[in-house]
Amino acid sequence: MDALSKSVLPPAIRSRFVDHVNGLRMHVLEAGFDGGDRPHVVLLHGFPELAYSWRKIMPALAQAGFHVLAPDQRGYGRTTGWDGDYDGDVGSFRILNLVRDVLGLVAALEIGSVAAVVGHDFGAPVAAYCALVRPDVFRSVALMSAPFAGPPSLPTGEPAREPDIHAALAGLRPPRKHYQWYYSTRAADDDMRNCAQGVHAFLRAYYHYKSADWPGNKPFPLQSWSAGELAKLPTYYVMERDQGMAETVAAEMPSAARIAACEWLTEAELRVYSTEYERTGFQGGLQWYRCRTSGTLNADLATFSGRTIDVPACFIAGAHDWGVYQTQGAFERMRGAACTHMLSCDLLDGAGHWVQQEQPAEVSRLLTQFLEGIA
């Protein structure tokens, strides 16, 4: 596997590989690598993204004096050494092993500690647990789009009988299903990888539908984890029961004129994503969802029940991002209990879920301000 072509990267960013990272050969984008005693920042992407998702803010952070590292995480892009078989080693994608991947990268580069670990989307819980488990290494944390509500509680006494949310969703009219459990099915990868419209068009519609460009993204807090409340979410989160994700987003495919006008994700930039996913498929990223929904694969997180993130923290998301509210109460628990040194929470106008791509200048400003403020 070759490094990512320089032709698709800003001049300040290079692509390279780091070997022996918790069993991986990790592909990393890097900026601010010209030597000197620079503090380090690690950027962790989400789904369905890549290290490339950070291309617009890495030069600004480097210019501010930081050494910036953005890996393709386990299951993604040009990083190799992971098992992408649906029947393979799913447990290697559990959260604490993903934390070990980040620790392994830091160790392989002989970095004693990093000034901040930054996570977007599914990268946010990885970043959160990095800061919670190893605050000596990860001296601050910035979370984007996905609030961290704290570790799960240790079970005590008889397990409570929870209502069957999936049966309740299926009982709606029209019947619905939750995207995370759909992403955990055997069919999900094939549905997206071999969809009728092709991977490029699928990703265009998916990114558009979850961005501020889609006028229906006007999020608000949900009142409960119930079918009636979850049904208020867009169909990219609570899908129609009989449709896959490729069918779901196809209905929201932007026009050719809107695509041409999309400055935050040009066709050339989208081609970087679609080329990678055409090659790898989506199963590597979907394994993360399987760990989340299994009920057992991430059970070791309860070891940290009651523990808080005590290093400096901030939260950044788009004002049009339903991800802030998709889990009822998580945003409030993050601000009120899970992070004891939360310095700022910013919801940016003109951004949906892909905040660091939709509003890179403002995200760069906020991150730089956060990092300089805790220096």
Nearest alpha carbon to residue 79 among 7, 20, 144, 10: 20
Is 208 considered catalytic here?
A: no
Nearest alpha carbon to residue 46 among 139, 135, 143: 143
Report the C-alpha gap between 298 and 84 in whole angstroms.
Answer: 18
Nearest alpha carbon to residue 314 among 79, 135, 118: 118
What is the CA 70 to chain-centroid distance, rounded? Answer: 13
Are 241 and 176 within 8 A, CB to CB? yes
Residues 6+ apart with CB under 8 A from 230: 165, 169, 176, 178, 222, 237, 238
Report the C-alpha gap between 134 and 101 in whole angstroms.
Answer: 13
Between the alpha carbon of residue 135 and those of residues 100, 140, 251, the distances in Å are 14, 8, 44
Are 48 and 59 within 8 A, CB to CB? no
> Which residue among 121, 189, 213, 346 is the active-site one?
121
Report the C-alpha gap between 159 and 155 in whole angstroms.
Answer: 7
Report the C-alpha gap between 249 and 239 in whole angstroms.
Answer: 10
> Which residue among 40, 45, 178, 353 is the active-site one?
353
Is 164 considered catalytic here?
A: no
Report the C-alpha gap between 239 and 183 in whole angstroms.
Answer: 11
Find where tokens 């509500």 sit.
149
Cis amide linkage into residue 175, ω under 30° from 0: no
Residue type for 73, please?
Q
Q: Which residues are catalytic?
A: 121, 353
